[in-house]
Structure 1
């Protein structure tokens, strides 16, 4: 009996192979895409939860800022015993870091510097050695598995020595203390190696910075015991004794904590971690749910439409004596067979689409990971519920109808199809919301990239320097300016858009002295002229500025620090022994991404070659541009053979600040395409249903002389109305979602009305094209076929 049912089911599927392909393909595609989306969302929401007892780990914050001084960490370590372990870390400031072993030189792209407690606060799986004790002394390093294999192959590197060469520290012999497993893709931390902070204590200026309360450049993490009370610790942080704190900094200390698991979404200023946007993730999750609903609804509609075409077959089976149980089995077997084929297709699609998801989201998903946990539960539930709705329940209903009604294709049908129309509105509401969101996100991304940040970035390349270049001083600039196509060169301590330096200093304003906090850049005298940054008042840096200790502040800083006349203020150095003048006010420009408003920033002049070198190029075409880059490369290799040249484009690095937004846009692009495709399938199913239920009417109209276009017009009547209703529902939902999303940016585009209108017109056009195709097929069919059973 089961074999017979399978045979009949296969015969039915092959007889209606086009519709069967639409059924199976649409459902499989919808399920596959939704499972991929759910896997990505789960990864984003589980960031750092793989770390042992991660709910006991917190980020130290000061006045809602994530950066603190190392002296503050030591103060907490001494005064709050309830904190089990506390550590501090930062990205290595050297622009270039290389290690050498057996005459093989390897670049470390992401290196963080930290104290010995880092892996006790943040335990990570060890491959070799013990990370928690590996950084207790100077000149120790912990490697990730991939970096270890690049340097040592498959050897156990514990105790082996490598030569460390960085911009700020050269020819140091570093011992490998441990190797950890590569960071998982649900880790927000991004590093290839971890260096013991004591190693950098050999750099004079580093020690000076570290010992200052005003150097707010470290991220601090702490761990509490399993039964620890974070509320008690927060209270102690709030009331920590400040006896040892310098008087000028006491008023700026407002300590609190943030759970590590929340830092991925809520602390975007932490540079040693990757970050996401929680609202974006919520939107993507909802999109996945809606795509899944669309796929299931379309499948159910198409299946139910096809069931109507088989009423006569069921009636014949009843005439031949088939029992009700057999009819239910037959219909359920066909649905089960379709779902079995769909399952195989889902697994196949996931196998091929997983690589695309990894490329799009910089993840490391496997097929087994996607089909596990809640995703597997969702997949099984979809199959069970779909089988119930499209197999068992229709079998029960159809088998209970009278045989005569079945033979005449006349069961109780509500020709107004309220439910189907509601589902149609639902489908196009989703499509219009997604289309509107895509257009707005694209407009915002274009706005961020094209908006003038207040400095010139066209035809500018940059690279990081090193000690060899710095020792050349002006000779380096003179040599580079000889290259045809190089118009000018300037330097700064960090790349515009990626500055991590935060300082605290005392400001003497007339007779009043108070502490100020600001971001800091060291720059060359020609920095502002090079980037076309306008001075509001005062004078540019000159050759005497480095010795005089001249400063230039932006408009935001001047306003925030209550500076009226530049001549009335002096900035005190670290120990208050020297007064440094503020010689100019520079117009505000975006030295960070436009996610955040412009902050206070101070620029200090330094004549020596600094860590980042910028080249302004004058080239007429691509060929001369390549020649210029090649000449820079050759000259660099001659001047700095130890450190290779790494050229980056200012435009590209600025656009890279908005990688997450571009990723979000791409995800919604694919989601909208799938949504529109599924909506079209929904229209096809509804058109099939209308054609099947109005076969007699179509035939009679054609016999009485109706033209094909009149039949099409009749069948299309009402579809525009349902899309219009979907548009009205979608607009406020899309407006609210995009309004909330734009709150993540300090600078944002307008929610233009034409985007809503364009999305509605696109949806309407797609709907009418889809329906008209099916309607035309019905209108051009021979009327004899429609009337021969009447």
Structure 2
């Protein structure tokens, strides 16, 4: 009990150092909590599946899309495979009950076609239904509990009929909502056999080796290595023939591979939503924050070394043991650390919903993960012990006789160690500032890049059913305004082409993006035709023909692309032209093979080129005309530039998150340098008094106190620049279109760091320099 009282007396006596230590630790711990919870959540994806270690997605060197028939062939020929399932993502669909259809209401959510082995392979538990049978019969659907409530309220949905995009289905099962850390996300599973009754030719597609539009997952027997499976699948006759052509066109890549389920979350596809590199960077940042908190604690602890050593020495003179003095310092450190982690956790509970919302991330809650609370308390205790080892030894290293007499023992002792700690802190801070500036530069580069089409002064409208039924009349009415210069209908807006076709043409597999458009589209965006001709606006004969881009012709090795044809959903269309390449997707990736499909359907987006002077007036006019054709639905008019910039929202949010962490590091670095300035101020108190008595001016003393800090920052800058250059150059290599590592970024980072450091240190230096010299000379 006496020891505990002594510890709290010491904390209160040196309350300035204690408060700074707690503030610094709270800042460090709070950041570590956020990073740890987020990274651990992202890395937990798909780990809940019982068979997660033996589930793989079958992929080729082109993509993850393969023919659905491959699932049947694998199942028949590979005994090492326990389960095989085919998946087709239908995307957003309209769900309704019979009552909802009468009032033209619906619920829009994702739907997924899956074969009957899906629920035996993946651990998505059912509330009602048998996982072995619910997806066997055509027309069966399994819906989530939340979708069931939206459609039927408190009624039991099992066995009832619903419509999905006007087609009737029977609810054969109800499952729990899919976990947040599941890569596969859907509110509805439709039996894959339903596709075989589809009147639009899906039965042919699911049994054809020419339709590469499906995902196939396999579950291997325990202990079977993926390499063995790849080898056996490759030797199947049907696969062997297909893989030969793929190998010829991609000789540097393995034509067939199996992607483990645990890697699916990081894959580049519609399911891949995370970046392993970013997670590793955040983990490194968490470690850096921990190190900086460690450095700050030591600096604040040792900033009043002389006074602390004297207090501990007096205790020893009065009968205390040296070992107990060391234990006291360690326990003080543990208590400060525990106080800090409690405050940090309390703040986290208050702010994490705001952080999740602002950065559009998940996983910061302790819900269902209370074990992390225990780990954070263990971390704080461990931190307290480790961070106190140096101070406890440092305070007790001076001879008691010298400390009691007031002789200064700590002037130079441990100086090199503390200097090294502060340099390490600023290496982290400068490196992160450089990285943040380069990330911002890259985002600016993407947003201002010329993608190769005329996208200025274009607004977009997502059409409703009524607007699509009267699309020509609606466009003609809009064109009566002098403020509207031109129009075009399309299935997608630039940057969001979501239709991909996998085909086998002339004996080779072709994977191509498909963009359904109207006659006006190419002229509207001033897209140049390099070979052949454009679509004829005055004839319907070009309907269901294609114009491909140069990339497609080169990728497919077509010397005379106009002699080829491309298979549509239920037709065979001629290729009548080749367009110049332009960036129709995100700038992270290279230009992909793409084709324009002229169709008189799929009028889902209307784009208008407007006069720039009267935007607000024109938008109001568009909405008023839309109301005449569809009085029940409100339309939203958006600028194409804003839509294109939204392609980089995810990167922008992650950039802001990294900037958020960078700010944390800078704050901790400033606290560290403030702690060291305290230490130097105490060490040089008498020296400052003597200099002032001998005529030294205040600015000369401030310069003397600051010069060492400038040297440390300069050393940190020289270390941080090449490290940041290498790291950011490696990061930029992930993008097809990237900015340059300009010299001014590194110079600006140095100026920012130097300016912040000088402002932080100069205040403390000014206080020391303006102290009464009489008091300074009496300080012993």
Give, in angstroms, the shift of residue 180 of structure 1: 2.6
**Partner-residue secondary structure (3-state), 1:718:** helix
CA contact (8 A) 1:264 1:275 kept: yes
Give, in angstroms, the shift of residue 378 of structure 1: 5.8
The answer on 1:310 being equivalent to 2:314 is no
Which residue matches 2:444?
446
Give, in angstroms, the shift of residue 754 of structure 1: 0.9
Return closer, same or farther for 1:388/1:49 CA change in 2, 3 Å cut-off: closer
Which residue matches 2:252?
none
Which residue matches 1:669?
659
The answer on 1:701 being equivalent to 2:687 is no
C-alpha separation between the residues in 1 aligned to 2:55 and 2:80?
13
Which residue matches 1:214?
210
With 585-594 and 651-660 compared, the bigger mean Cα shift is at 651-660
Aligned ranges for residues 35-184 of structure 1 at < 5 Å?
Answer: 35-92=33-90, 97-100=94-97, 102-103=99-100, 105-164=105-164, 166=165, 170=166, 172-184=167-179
Give, in angstroms, the shift of residue 548 of structure 1: 6.4
Which residue matches 1:187?
182
Which residue matches 1:713?
703
Return closer, same or farther for 1:485/1:407 CA change in 2, 3 Å cut-off: farther
With 188-197 and 587-596 compared, the bigger mean Cα shift is at 188-197
Return closer, same or farther for 1:515/1:202 CA change in 2, 3 Å cut-off: closer
Please list the CA deviations of residues 709-767 of structure 1 after superposition, one character each: whole Å capped at 9, or x if unmatched.
Answer: 11111111221111111111111111111111112211111111111111111111111
C-alpha separation between the residues in 2 aligned to 1:769 and 1:370?
42
The answer on 1:627 being equivalent to 2:625 is no
Return closer, same or farther for 1:607/1:123 CA change in 2, 3 Å cut-off: same
CA contact (8 A) 1:47 1:264 kept: yes
CA contact (8 A) 2:445 2:739 kept: yes
TM-score (ref. length: structure 2): 0.90
Which residue matches 1:525?
519
CA contact (8 A) 1:118 1:132 kept: no
C-alpha separation between the residues in 2 aligned to 1:274 and 1:610?
29
Please list the CA deviations of residues 432-466 of structure 1 after superposition, one character each: whole Å capped at 9, or x if unmatched.
Answer: 11001101111111111221222244444445557
Which residue matches 2:592?
599
Give, in angstroms, the shift of residue 228 of structure 1: 3.6
C-alpha separation between the residues in 1 aligned to 2:203 and 2:464?
20
Unaligned stretches of 5+ in structure 2?
Answer: 250-254
Aligned ranges for residues 289-308 of structure 1 at < 5 Å?
Answer: 289-308=287-306
Aligned ranges for residues 357-756 of structure 1 at < 5 Å?
Answer: 357-359=355-357, 360-367=359-366, 372-373=371-372, 376-377=374-375, 379-387=377-385, 389-390=387-388, 394=392, 398=396, 401-411=399-409, 413-414=411-412, 417-464=415-462, 470-472=468-470, 474-482=472-480, 486-496=484-494, 497-506=496-505, 516-542=510-536, 543-544=538-539, 546-547=541-542, 549-564=544-559, 569-571=563-565, 573=567, 580-618=573-611, 620-621=613-614, 623-631=616-624, 633-638=626-631, 645=635, 649-756=639-746
Work out which of the residue numbers 756, 776, 779 in structure 2 matches 1:766. Answer: 756
The answer on 1:347 being equivalent to 2:342 is no
**Partner-residue secondary structure (3-state), 1:109:** strand
Please list the CA deviations of residues 53-110 of structure 1 after superposition, one character each: whole Å capped at 9, or x if unmatched.
Answer: 11111111123411112233333233333322222223316x6524246437343232
Return closer, same or farther for 1:191/1:409 CA change in 2, 3 Å cut-off: farther
**Partner-residue secondary structure (3-state), 1:183:** coil
CA contact (8 A) 1:276 1:660 kept: no
C-alpha separation between the residues in 2 aligned to 1:762 and 1:82?
60
Which residue matches 1:196?
191
C-alpha separation between the residues in 2 aligned to 1:671 and 1:572?
50
C-alpha separation between the residues in 2 aligned to 1:485 and 1:199?
48
Please list the CA deviations of residues 262-317 of structure 1 after superposition, one character each: whole Å capped at 9, or x if unmatched.
Answer: 2222x30x22x132222221111101100111012101210122343233333433
C-alpha separation between the residues in 2 aligned to 1:196 and 1:15?
72
Please list the CA deviations of residues 301-360 of structure 1 after superposition, one character each: whole Å capped at 9, or x if unmatched.
Answer: 101223432333334334444444554454444334322321321221221232234322
With 275-284 and 326-335 compared, the bigger mean Cα shift is at 326-335
Aligned residues: 768
TM-score (ref. length: structure 1): 0.89
Return closer, same or farther for 1:577/1:389 CA change in 2, 3 Å cut-off: closer
**Partner-residue secondary structure (3-state), 1:585:** strand
Return closer, same or farther for 1:99/1:710 CA change in 2, 3 Å cut-off: same
Give, in angstroms, the shift of residue 155 of structure 1: 4.0
Return closer, same or farther for 1:246/1:678 CA change in 2, 3 Å cut-off: closer
Return closer, same or farther for 1:131/1:546 CA change in 2, 3 Å cut-off: farther
**Partner-residue secondary structure (3-state), 1:182:** coil
Return closer, same or farther for 1:514/1:16 CA change in 2, 3 Å cut-off: closer
With 478-487 and 217-226 compared, the bigger mean Cα shift is at 478-487
Please list the CA deviations of residues 466-515 of structure 1 after superposition, one character each: whole Å capped at 9, or x if unmatched.
Answer: 765555463454355457755443233444333231232535xxxxx866
CA contact (8 A) 1:429 1:727 kept: yes
C-alpha RMSD over aligned residues: 3.2
Give, in angstroms, the shift of residue 607 of structure 1: 2.5
CA contact (8 A) 1:314 1:399 kept: no
Unaligned stretches of 5+ in structure 1?
Answer: 508-512
C-alpha separation between the residues in 1 aligned to 2:641 and 2:148?
34
Which residue matches 1:510?
none
CA contact (8 A) 1:143 1:193 kept: yes
**Partner-residue secondary structure (3-state), 1:519:** strand
Return closer, same or farther for 1:609/1:284 CA change in 2, 3 Å cut-off: closer
**Partner-residue secondary structure (3-state), 2:172:** strand
With 764-773 and 496-505 compared, the bigger mean Cα shift is at 496-505
